[in-house]
Every structure is written in C-alpha cells, then in structure tokens.
Structure 1
Amino acid sequence: MPRLALVRRLEAAGFRAWPAASIQFDGSWQIRLTAGHPSKRLNSVNPLDPSDRRDIERRVEMAARRFEAYDRQLVFRQSPLAPKELDAYLDELGWERFEETAVMSAPMSELDIDGGMDHLPVRDVGRYVDASIRVHGRDPSLKAGLTEVLSSIKPPSGLFVIEDKGNPVSTALCVHDKELAGIYELATHAEARRKGRGRDVVCAALRWARHRGATKAWLQVETANEAAYGLYQGLGFKEVYRYSFRRSGEGQGAVSD
C-alpha cells in the first residue's frame, strides 16, 4: 500500500502540471472540466480522501449533471485516495474500469539519464503544439485546446521536440515544480520508434530539470504500454501507485488521455 502522503503530493503536482479550465469541489472530490480539450485528466472526478464516503449516490448524480452541461461523459479517476465505498457503488452500477496507469518516481541521483545529446526546450508554444499533435497522431482541431492548457501551466515547464530531417519525431513536456520534475505527454512518431528517440527526449528533459534544481522525477504511464513502462524501469523509475478510470457503459465515446 503506497504512503498516502506521497500519493497526495504527486496528485497535487499532476493537477498543477495539467490544469483544468474549471475546478470545483464536492467535499474532497475534485471535479475537473475543460471545454477546449477532451483529456480524461482534464475532465474527470478525482476523489482525494478515502474517508469521504458520504452521500455517494447523490453526489454521483450531481457530478453527472455537471458533466452533461459540458457535453462530457462522466468519468471518475480512481487513485488510492478514492474511498472503497465509491468503487463498490460503481461496481453495483456496472461501470467499466479502463486504462490503468502506473505512477512512477525516482530520485534524480538514481536515474540513468546522462549521455546522449542535449536538447534545449523550445520557446514557441505553437511549434511544440504542432509537433505534439503530429507525433501523437491527434486531430489538428485540438490545437487551440492544447495551447490553452500549456499556456495555463504555472510551474516552469520545458517543451521538448526532437526532429529528424526537419520533422518532429519525439516530444515531451517537463514541468519543474519545486523539487519535482514531472514528465508528461511523451510520444514518439510511429515511424521513428525503437530508435531510442523516446529515451533521448526524456533524458534531455530530466537533465534540464535537474540543472534547474529538481531532485526527484516522476511520471505516469499506462500499464498496457509495455514498451514505455520498460523504458522507464530501465532508466531507474519505480512504481509508486496506480490509478484507473471508471465510466458508465452507456454512451461511451472516444476519450483522450
């Protein structure tokens, strides 16, 4: 069982690094909604206290109405901070559990991130957004929403793009939040995989954060992504905890990460 204090610390850093446009609270449930971007982390209910288990049925219904107003499907993000009673209630409703994610961390001093080329972060948010959309293979219509999210990040952030013959092949966002360096949005273009590009961009981003004073690195990776999970393990990251998303079986549609 992970230490809840550490879980809370990393959850808070994650919220700061990937800010939702609207944040409301129902008790300790953080309700995050963003009209301009469909990311589940930006559009989900995040319970933050295992002991907050009152009026679950009524609160789920209230959350559903809020999400409906944003034309979003209600999604719960269930970390170790979520009360077990909520999971049990969603089980009774037959809600699907999907996209389990591992949160991994390590002291900078224990990571194998030296060697390889240094890459400076790009200063042009538009250039990074275009590169990220291309590398992820996402719909270009997400450009405005992603630009808004990146422009709203308050801690210092580095936008990293690795190119090959003028074309972006790997991208990553690194957010330096006090002693923490978080890696987000890592992706390598399908045609450039298995060439060490992902490792290069992660190492360059973490060296940048270490130079700025970060002493601990962390990230999130879907457990189904065995290649990425193996990359992070090879660098020295260790799993701290896992979370997963839950949604009703009705009206399922495409949901971005």
Structure 2
Amino acid sequence: MPELAMVRRYEAAGFRAWPASFVQYDGTWVIRLTAGLPAKRLNSINPLDPGDGSNILDRIARAERRFDAYGRPLTFRISPLAGANLTRHLDRERWLSFSESIVMRLALDNAHLIGVMDQIPMKDIGRFVSAALQVHNMEPAMRPGLSEVIGSIEPEAGLFVSKEGDEPVATAICVQDRDLAGLFEVATKPELRGKGFGRQVVLSALKWARHRGAREAWLQVEADNAPAVTLYRSLGFADVYRYHYRRPQAS
C-alpha cells in the first residue's frame, strides 16, 4: 500500500496539470467535469480522504445531477484515497469497475538522458493540437476542448511533437510543477509503433524538464497498454499506485 501523502501529492499535481473546466468539492470528493472533452479523468468524482464516507447516497444523488447537466455518465475515479465505506457501497450496488491505470515515477537523476536530442517545445497550441488529433486519430470536434484544457494548464507545459519528414508521428505534453514533471497525452501513430518514436519524444521531454530543475517525472498509463508499460519500465519508471473507474450498471 503506497503512502497516502505520496498519493495525495500526485493526485494534486494531476489536477493542476490536466485541469477540468468545472470543479466542485463535496466534502473531500472532488467533482470534475468538462463539457469540451469526454475523457474520464476530466469527468469523474475523485475521493481524496479514506475517512470521508458519510451520507454517500445523498452525495451521489447530488453529483449525478451535475453529471446529467453536462451530459456525462456518473463516474467515480477510485484511487487509494477512496475509503472502504464508499467501496463497500459501490460493491453492494454492483457498480462496474473498468479502466485500471498505473501511476509511475522516475527520479530524473537516474534517467539515461546522455545523447538524447534537445528539442524545443512548441509554443503554438493550435499546431500542437493539430498534431495530437492526427497522432491520436481523434475527431476534429475534439479540437476546441483539447485546446481549452491545454491553454488552462497553469504550471509550465512543454508541448512535444516528433516528426518523420513533415508528418507528426508522436506527441507528449510535459507539465513541470516545481520539482515534478508530469507526462500527459503521450502517443505514437498506431502504424509506426515499435520504431522508437515514443521513446524519443518522452526522453526529449524529460531532458527539457530536468534542465528546468525538475527532480522527478511521473505519469499515468492504462494497465492493459502493455507496449506503453513496457516502454516506461525500460526507461526506469516504477509503479507507485493504481486507480480505476466505476459506473453504475445500465438500468
């Protein structure tokens, strides 16, 4: 079991690095909603104190009204900070569990960055979003929402794109929050995976962050994304904790 203080540190950094457009607290539950993007991280209830397990039915009902107003499915993001009372309630109600993710970290003093290409991050959010939509194969309708989220990041954010010729082949966002460097939206075009482009863009982002004073890198990756997990572990990233999502079964 990870130290809860460490989990809280990464959870707080994640909220700052990937900000939702609407945030409301109900006790120590953080309700995050974003009209422009359907991503689960941006549209979920995030419990932050294992001891906060009172009035669960009423609080879920209040949150459900918020989610309905945004047209989002009611979703909990369950980290080690979710308490046993809440978990037992969701189990009794037979809420579905899905999309387990791993939070990983790497001390940048241990990162092998000698010989890694120096890359200057993009300044133009529009150009980066165009590249990200292409690499992720996302619908053009996602452009405004993704642009809004990136533009709302308060810590320093480096926008990285690897190209083959003029074509973007891999992307990453590195958010430096004091001594932490968080990696987000790391992706490689599916047909070009396994050729080193993802490794290249991640290492360039880590080198940039270390030059700016970051001491530790961290990221979140879906547990069933075996190629990505293998890549990160080969770079020296180690598991810190896991989280998953829960939704009520369709009636």
Query: Residue 35 of structure 1 aligns to a residue in which SS?
Result: coil
Which residue number corresponds to residue 28 of structure 1?
28
1:160 partner letter: F
Moved more, 115-124 or 161-170: 115-124
**1:126 aligned partner:** 126
Look up the SS of the partner of 1:148 in the other structure: helix
**What CA distance in whole angstroms lies between the structure 2 residues aligned with 1:10 and 1:146?**
22
Name the counterpart of 1:254.
Answer: none
- Cα deviation for residue 240 of structure 1 reads 0.3
Q: Whole-Å Cα distance in 1 between the matches of residues 16 and 50 of structure 2?
A: 21
Partner SS, residue 220 of structure 2: strand
8 Å CA contact retained: 1:119, 1:162:
no
CA deviation string 1:62-115 (max 9, x = no partner): 111110011111110000001111111111111111010000012101122333
Deviates most, 115-124 or 47-56: 115-124
Runs of 4+ aligned structure 1 residues displaced above 6 Å come to none
Q: Could you list the runs of 5+ residues in structure 1 that have no partner in the other structure? A: 252-257
Query: Number of aligned pairs?
Result: 251
Q: Give 2:76's aligned residue.
A: 76
Q: Distance in 2 between matches of 1:50 and 1:19?
A: 23
Partner letter of residue 119 of structure 2?
Answer: H
Query: Under a length normalisation based on structure 1, what TM-score does the superposition of the two structures give?
Result: 0.96
User: Which residue does the alignment assign to 2:157?
Assistant: 157
Match of 2:234 in 1: 234
Q: Deviation string for 1:161-206 (max 9, x for gaps)? A: 0111201000000000000000000000012111001000000000
Q: Distance in 2 between the 1:9 and 1:115 partners?
A: 31
Find the counterpart in structure 2 of residue 179 from structure 1: 179
How far apart in 2 are the matches of 1:90 and 1:64?
Answer: 14
Q: Does 1:194 align with 2:199?
A: no
Deviates more, 1:87-96 or 1:44-53: 87-96
The answer on whether the counterparts of 1:114 and 1:203 sit within 8 Å (CA) in structure 2 is no
Distance (Å, rounded) in 2 between the aligned partners of 1:196 and 1:63: 43
**More displaced stretch, 117-126 vs 37-46:** 117-126
Deviation at 1:9, TM superposition (A): 0.4
Q: Separation in 1 of the partners of 2:67 and 2:138?
A: 23
- Superposition RMSD on alpha carbons, in Å? 0.9
Structure 2 unaligned residues grouped into runs of 5+: none
- Rounded to whole Å, the distance in 1 between the matches of 2:84 and 2:235 is 33
- In the alignment, the residues of structure 2 paired with residue 244 and residue 81 of structure 1 have an alpha-carbon distance, to the nearest angstrom, of 12
Q: Which AA in structure 2 matches 1:111?
A: A
SS of 1:90's equivalent?
A: helix
Residue 49 of structure 2: SS of its match in structure 1? coil
Distance, in Å, in 1 between the alignment partners of 2:227 and 2:63 is 35
AA partner of residue 114 (structure 1): I
Q: Distance in 2 between matches of 1:146 and 1:221?
A: 19
The code of the aligned residue for 1:47 comes to P
- Preserved CA contact (<8 Å) 2:116 2:207: no
| Contact persistence 2:157–2:176 (CA under 8 A) | yes
Instruction: Out of 55-64 and 19-28, give the one that drifted further.
Output: 55-64
Task: State whether residues 113 and 235 of structure 1, in contact with CA within 8 Å, keep that contact through their aligned partners in structure 2.
Answer: no
Deviation, 1:117, is 2.5
Q: 3-state DSSP class of the match of 2:240?
A: strand
Q: Given that residues 106 and 217 in structure 1 are in contact (C-alpha distance below 8 angstroms), is that contact kept between their aligned partners in structure 2?
A: yes
The aligned counterpart of 2:117 is 117
Report the Cα distance in structure 1 between the residues aligned to 2:116 and 2:10, rounded to whole angstroms: 28
1:94 counterpart letter in structure 2: R
Q: Secondary structure at the match of 2:12?
A: helix
Q: Is the 8 A contact 1:33 1:70 kept in 2?
A: yes
